[in-house]
Structure formats: structure tokens, C-alpha cells
Structure 1
Amino acid sequence: MRSKEISYYVTSFFTQYLNNEAGLSINTIKSYRDAFILFYKYLEESGICKISKLKMDTLNIDNVTGFLDWLEQVRDCSISSRNQRLAALKAFCVYVIRKNPEESALCQGILKIRIKKAPQKSVEYLTVNAIEYLHKMPDKHSMQGIRELAMIALMYESGCRVQELIYLRVGDIAFSSPNTLTLTGKGNKARVIPISSNAADIIKAYLNSNGICDMAHPVFVNRYDKPLSRSGVSYVLNKYGQLARKARPDLFPTKLHPHILRHSKAMHLLENGVNLIYIRDFLGHSSVTTTEIYARCNPELKRKYIEQAGSLITETVEEYSEGEKEALIDWLRKNI
């Protein structure tokens, strides 16, 4: 087994393990693939070795560390992207160890590389007034306008990810009381999301005006009747974001990204007192800790929760000492 070269392991990793055993989503597999493409590119550009001469020991701690620094410094990738590429290489190393324990020493070096901590960014979101204004931008009397209004309305109402929007089929929408969408998220996990009758009417008007009735047909397509791409969704949203910003620069950032509608929906739910547990399920997060970022980024909400917590401690937990109360409130201040 020691004679096996890295190409053997990479081939079986992608063609057998990821597809059949691991059961990863197509998007995750594509992300892993991109990590290897970039790693090979780094090796060649840095003069370490040609792709045709790759050996298993090329995957060593020095080369991987150099690759991660190259991603940040040369390609200007974010820390998050750097960590994603490292995760792909680590997953590969775990697979190689399973296939051939003799490679353990080499792979353990990679597995010991720590992820890089990124400074926590504040969540960018639009106010309710901005969302209402954005909905007025498309011309709902034209076929293109009603299509793009439906896209914006659906993204905000459901808080869906871009990929979930792209994969959405006509049959995933239930026009009944209540109106719902079935979204398929990360890990092929499905969730049912309620939408307002107003949003449902906009989507229905779009489907009817474009003659889309096949249950298996994508809800949103391009001019060639193909599913939209991520860049296509970004283009539509940013187009109307620019129009809206010209009229109301106080309400809109310089550029709108699709995720901003998802962030906005989460923040508006939170501002209306919806429990983080329900917001977690609504957004399709695997853990409420992912959702907590919305509570942390809003100072007013943070202040309200801390005050409520202090009041609750005073009123219902009288056996706590003043020191214990302060310690608990301090913990909430740091973690909410």
C-alpha cells in the first residue's frame, strides 16, 4: 500500500467515498474539489512540484501551511475560505488513514493544523422600511418585473439560502391555507416554511404570467429556461438594490448580496420576539449557536435580554446572592 501515489487516493476519495459512503451534498463535494484544484495550483505556482509528479509526501504540513497562507495573502481569500479548504484536506487525510494506516504519520501532521480564528463580523441586514421600499422597485406589470419581484419576495419571506432558491420546484410550493414552501437545505434536509398570502399571490401571478405549471419545473429560470445561477440571483438583487439606493441612500448599503435578505428576515423575527429556537428551525440551522449571531449583533436586543434576565433573577430567584446575580448577568452580557 505504501507505493500508492496521491492520485490514487484522491480519485477514490472523490469517486467512491464522498459520493457513496459519506453521503455529502453536491455543493460540499464541489467545495472539496475546488480545494484540491487550488492546492495543486499553489504547488505549481510556488515551484514546489508539477502536478504530474505529485507524491503522497507532497501533502505535508509545510506545504499545506504554505498553501493556506497563499490563499489569504496572494488570492485574498477570507479566513472562512481558508478554513474551508483546510477542512477539505483534513477530511481527505482521515480517509487516507482509513485506507492505509501506514500513511498515518504524514496525515496526522495535517490534522494537527488548527483552524484560524476570524474576527466576528456584524451581521448586515436591512430595516423593515428598506425591505418594503425594495419590494416597490420591480415593475410588477411586466413579465420580467413580476418574476424578479417574486424572487425578492420569496427570498425574504422564507429566509432561504441562494442554493435553496435555485433548487426550488413548482411542486415545492403549496398554495393553500397556510401557504408554504418546502426548502431543501444543507445535507439534503427539508423544512417546511410558511409564507404570507401576499407573497404567495405574487409568486402565483409570476407563475401564471409565465405559463409555468409543471410541478417538476424550477420556479426561477433564466432566458434559456435553465435554473438560475448564484451569480444570476446576485445580479437581480443588486440591480434593484442600486435603484433603491439612488432614491434612499440612507436605507441601503452600496451593494446587496442575496444573504442579506436571509439576515434581514432573521433579525425582523428576533425583533418581534420570536424565540431563537424557532428562528433556528426556520433558517435550517443545525444548532441554535449558529442563530445566536443575530442576537449578538443587535445592541438593543442585547440590552433588552440582559434587563429581562436581571428582572427575572430579582423576581423569581430570590435565594441567589447579589454576587451570583451579577455573575449570571455578566455571563449573559458576554454570551448573548
Structure 2
Amino acid sequence: MKKNTEPACHRHDPFPTLLHSFFHEWLSEQRNASVHTIRSYRDTWRLFLRFVAERKRKKVAEIKFADLTATEVSAFLGHAEHDRKGTIGTRNCRLAAIRSFFHFVAGKEPTAIAQCTQVIAVPIKRGPIPAPCYLEPREVEAILAQPDRSTLEGLRDHALLSFLYNSGARIQEALDLTPEAIRFETPNCVRLYGKGRKERMCPLWPETVLLLKRLLERQPRRPSDRLFVNRYGEPLGASGVRFKLAAYVEAAAKMVPTLRSKTVTPHSFRHATAVHLVSAGVDVTVIRSWLGHVSLDTTNHYAQANLETKRKALERVGAPTRGGKPPSWKRDASVLDWLDSL
């Protein structure tokens, strides 16, 4: 009998093993990725494999590593953006999940480096960066006034929204909050875990701490239990918070009409925190740490969006006077001082 000298990787396609190792060994154990990252990557690969299977007229279980080319990746990204009506940001998140896998494979399968390199080279798509829609202080106050704090549900919603505005936390960071992460003694602060399991400390107003204390008095929780739960004691979900918030915003818009033109989500409170900190003169590097931004460019985006800060800067410059020769920029100390302050 003739011995089969064909390499094992050719007889048995390595893709299923590689994908299993990527999720269970690389993401979970070596990278210690959060459950949210793993689920996001999982959803991307579900969509990608179904897309490739349909194009190749195969079952998903029949897909081989050789089928996952840069051409297929580019086609999938176009499908995700145009056919599925996804945003450019969603498209780039899908690409990040796919790239991460091929970076992993390149280190495991040297013979696949050429294919991996081609996929990794698929560029992200740059799009317009809109100014974040943030809430003015009076709009925040109007929304916070809506929950009926005489009920447990209203007390919980008021405490949650107040916490979001105080801390600038992402919605899932807030929903993951446990009593043991809060320092109820002075100085009041909270420990949050952001993207990539990055830990940061945020100061809390005494008023916010008092609200959290009252919530715990009405609905006691163990130190390691989630703080914000539903009537059955189960952790709140982000979709439920969005639904409740929409009702509060609709009611608040009757008092503050400007809310009618805004799409308010839990993330809007994070935007409001950032812009209001900028307006208060807090240094952007402090705000970056406060919000857990990876890049300072993200924080600077809020500084550019803050119209109140721009208005104050314009007032410091002053309107041009009529007649006479305009002063030299080099001799105009007030303008130079203003530029130095930016």
C-alpha cells in the first residue's frame, strides 16, 4: 500500500481548529478579552462564514481556510455596510475581528502568511466624523426629573441616569457595577472596567453616592452582585435602559423643547459629561483618564464640539473695530495670549 505523504494540513483543513483556538485559547486565555469583545467577534464570524458559504455555494461546515481570501473579506465588508445598512464604524469593527484572527493564524501557520498578509492589508474605511450630540445641563436636569423616585423602579432609574452623567461611564460599565466597586466614604469614587478590561477610578458627587445608598437600602445587594437589576432581581440589559430612557426623554421634551430634535441614548450622558468637563476648564488629559479613552484624539473631539467654550474664546478676542489700520499679529498681545490658552 502506497504511503500517503501529503501533509496533514492538506488532508485535514486547519481552519476549524484554528478558529476554535483563536476564541478559546487566544481571546479568552492569552488576551483575557472581555465577554463583550468575544461576543462581538463571534457575531462577526457568524455573519462572515454564512456570507462566504453562500457565495461559494457550500455549507458553513465545508468552508476551508483557502476560501477566506482578501477578496471575500472585502466583499463581506461591502455587504455589511450596504446590504445590511451598517455604519462605517460597524464595518470597521467587523474588519477588526477578522484581522485579529488572521494575525493569530500568521503566528501559528507560517505557510499561510501570504494569505494572512493580504487580508490584514484590507484597509479600514474612513468616514465623516460627526460632532457628538450632547445634552445641555438643563436638558440633563429635565430628564433626571422624570423618574418617580417614590417607586423602586423610579429610584433605580434616577440613580442609574445620575451615575451615567456623573461618571461618564459607558452603559455596560454602569450595568456591570457592583456595590464593592463603590467607595462610600470620603473621597467618594467608583472603580470601572472599560474596554479591554482597563480599570479606572472616577470621582463621585456626594449626591450620587446618596442615591446609590438609598437604592441599596430599598433593594439590598451582596457586594459582588450587580447593583442595577429589574423587579425580578436580574441584571438590567442595555436595551431595557434605552426603552425606559426614551419614555423619560419624551416626557422631558414637553418642558425642554430642544430635546425633540435630539436622539438621546445612554451614551448621550457620556457625551454630556465630556463636553461639560471641557466647558468647566478641566484639562483634556484628565478627561481622557476620567472617560477611559485610549487616544487623546477622542477626547479632543469633545473640546472641538463645545460651542460654549468657543463662544467664550471669541468673546476674549473681541470683535474687530472699524477704521484704522489693524494691529500686527505679533504686536497684539491679547490675541497671542488667547492662542496660547487654546
Establish whether residue 283 from structure 1 lines up as the match of residue 294 from structure 2: no
**5+ long unaligned stretches in structure 2:** 1-7, 318-328
Determine whether 1:51 maps to 2:66. Answer: no
What is aligned with 1:314? none
In the alignment, is the contact (CA less than 8 A) between 1:5 and 1:54 conserved in 2?
no
- Tell me the equivalent position of 1:6: 15
1:313 corresponds to: none
Q: Structure 1 residue 127 and structure 2 residue 136: aligned?
A: yes
Equivalent in the alignment of 1:86 = 95
Q: 1:63 matched to which residue of 2?
A: 72
Work out the CA distance in 1 between the residues paired with 2:54 and 2:201: 47
Which of 286, 292, 298 is equivalent to 2:306? 298
Deviation at 1:264, TM superposition (A): 0.3
For the residues of structure 2 that align with 1:124 and 1:160, how far apart are their CA atoms? Answer: 16
1:98 aligned residue: 107
Q: What is the TM-score with the length of structure 2 in the denominator?
A: 0.86
Distance 1:103 1:308 in 2: 61
C-alpha separation in 2, matches of 1:49 and 1:305: 62
- Name the residue aligned to 1:226: 234
**Amino-acid identity (%):** 34
Give a deviation string over 1:254-297, Cα, whole Å, max 9, x none.
53211000100111111011110111111011221221110122
Is the counterpart of residue 17 in structure 1 residue 16 in structure 2?
no
- Any residues of structure 2 matched to 1:26-175 within 5 Å, and which? 26-46=35-55, 48-175=57-184
Indicate which of 254, 263, 288 corresponds to 1:255: 263
1:238 aligned residue (241, 246, 263): 246
What residue is the counterpart of 1:269 in the other structure?
A: 277
Going from structure 1 to structure 2, the CA distance change for 1:192 and 1:84 (only over 3 Å counts) comes to same
Q: 1:235 to 1:188 in 2, by over 3 A?
A: same
Partner letter of residue 274 of structure 1? Answer: V
Distance 1:156 1:33, change over 3 A: same
CA contact (8 A) 1:166 1:228 kept: yes
| Closer/same/farther in 2, CA of residues 67 and 269 from structure 1, 3 Å limit | same
Amino acid at match of 1:130: E
Matched-pair contact (CA < 8 Å) for 1:43–1:50: no
Structure 2 SS opposite 1:246:
coil
Cross-structure match for 2:193: 184
* Partner Cα distance (1:50, 1:302) in 2: 57
Over the aligned positions, Cα root-mean-square deviation in angstroms equals 2.6
> Structure 1 length as normaliser, TM-score?
0.87
- SS of the residue aligned with 2:128? coil
- Give the distance between the partners of 1:128 and 1:41, measured in 2 at CA: 46
Distance 1:276 1:285 in 2: 11
Alignment partners' CA distance in 2, 1:281 and 1:306: 28
C-alpha deviation, 1:227, in angstroms: 1.3
Matched letter for residue 40 of structure 1: L
The amino acid that maps onto 1:278 is V
